[in-house]
Amino acid sequence: MYSITEVSRLTGVSQQTIRNWEKYYSLVLPVRNAAGHRLYDDSDVKLVAAMGSLVNLGWKPSAAAYEVQTRARDQVSLFDPLSDTVDHSRDDDLIVSFLECAARRDRDGLEAVLAQAWQRHGPDQVGDDWLMPALSRLGAEWEAGRLSVAGEHLASGLIRDRLLTDLDAALLAMSSPVPQVLTGLAQDVHHDLGVVTFSALLARRGIAVRLLGPNVDGDVWEDALVTTGAEQVVLGVIRSVDVIPTARLVGRLHAKFPQVTVHVGGRHQHLVPEPARSLDHHLGRAADAIAFELTLAAALG
């Protein structure tokens, strides 16, 4: 069970807003402990996070509450009602172990599985061959209620740490790591493990990257382009609800920096209109393409 403070931290929704959604829309019905404090379960956290995503996209709270409650009743994905069914038959032994350790919140076990995955696939292939399928299953287990929020956050956090270690090592190996590419997510977009993976792959190909991270305000993107002189931007679009804020950022950056190429990757990249350029869904091939483009441009002066 989670306190309202913990729910607010996990979802990015303020405590007062959570109380309002409880009062006006009956979004969640928390129990109370002996002291009278609200306590929320995993399903409550999912409902608050999903409604927060829709409200951030401009939905009216009443409409967002109805949409989320309808999805929960119909047992479809709270975050992407058009999501595909996950093929469990493709799980390898390490994915199964990874999910089991996440369910137990076994930090040591998770770290051991990640070390095995990196050793088996190598840092250049682990993203496409193992990490993306593992993350898909992790999300499916969380939404199905077989994995707690705490277990999902622990597993995701350890993956992020491992990827950032790869990124830092690659950047340190460069003689002059002046950022050529900025990577990250638009404001109100939060699932960044794909773009972190891509950043590490680019750096391993000799391309200096600055990772801005998730939920980045447009002003920060503009300041970063001015201070770094980066030639390319890569944004992640993992969920359908990420499309609108990403498209807005693409338009804003193109208007201010028409010389900068803005790429989008992720499952819903094809929904972001031009001038965004879609990347290959294979992370390694996408990193190869950008690295080749920048290397060729430098060679031609």
Distance of alpha carbon 37 from alpha carbon 3, whole angstroms: 8
Half-sphere exposure of 56 (CA within 13 A, CB side): 25
pLDDT at 281: 87
Which is more confidently placed, 79 or 37? Answer: 37
Shared domain check, 105 and 49: no
Total domain count for the chain? Answer: 3
Nearest to 288 by CA among 145, 81, 127: 127
Shared domain check, 293 and 214: yes
pLDDT at 78: 66
Shared domain check, 290 and 183: yes
The terminus-to-terminus CA distance of the chain in angstroms comes to 59
In a domain, 268, yes or no: yes
Q: Report the pLDDT averaged over residues 130-149.
A: 84
Distance of alpha carbon 130 from alpha carbon 132, whole angstroms: 6
Shared domain check, 184 and 156: no
Q: Report the pLDDT averaged over residues 151-160.
A: 92
Shared domain check, 199 and 183: yes
Shared domain check, 179 and 293: yes
Shared domain check, 211 and 288: yes
Q: Which residues contact 125 (CB under 8 A, 6 or more apart)?
A: 284
What are the phi and psi torsion angles at 118 (to 5°)? -65, -40
Shared domain check, 184 and 293: yes
Burial of 144 (0-12, 13-18, 19+ CB in 10 A): exposed
Task: Specify the range with the lowest mean pLDDT, choosing from 69-83, 131-145, 169-183, 189-203.
Answer: 69-83
For residue 73, is pLDDT > 90? Answer: no
Shared domain check, 154 and 181: no
Shared domain check, 141 and 247: no
Shared domain check, 200 and 185: yes
pLDDT at 50: 84
Residues 264-297: pLDDT tens digits?
999 888 889 899 999 988 999 999 999 998 888 7
| CATH number for 121 | 1.10.1240.10
| CATH number for 252 | 3.40.50.280
In a domain, 79, yes or no: no
Distance of alpha carbon 39 from alpha carbon 207, whole angstroms: 47
Q: pTM to 2 decimals? A: 0.74
The tokens for 19 are: 């109380």
Q: Report the pLDDT averaged over residues 252-272.
A: 93
pLDDT at 82: 45
**Whether 185 contacts 149, CB under 8 Å:** no
Which is more confidently placed, 233 or 178? Answer: 233
Confidence of residue 160 (pLDDT cuts 50, 70, 90): very high
The last residue of one of the domains, among 169, 196, 229, is: 169
What are the phi and psi torsion angles at 178 (to 5°)? -80, 120
Shared domain check, 281 and 238: yes
The last residue of one of the domains, among 169, 199, 215, is: 169
| CATH number for 22 | 1.10.1660.10
In a domain, 136, yes or no: yes
For residue 89, is pLDDT > 70? Answer: no
pLDDT at 84: 44
pLDDT at 112: 97
Residues 115-125: pLDDT tens digits?
999 999 999 99
In a domain, 259, yes or no: yes
pLDDT at 76: 64
**Whether 103 contacts 147, CB under 8 Å:** yes
Question: Which range marks the domain in which residue 165 is found?
Answer: 88-169
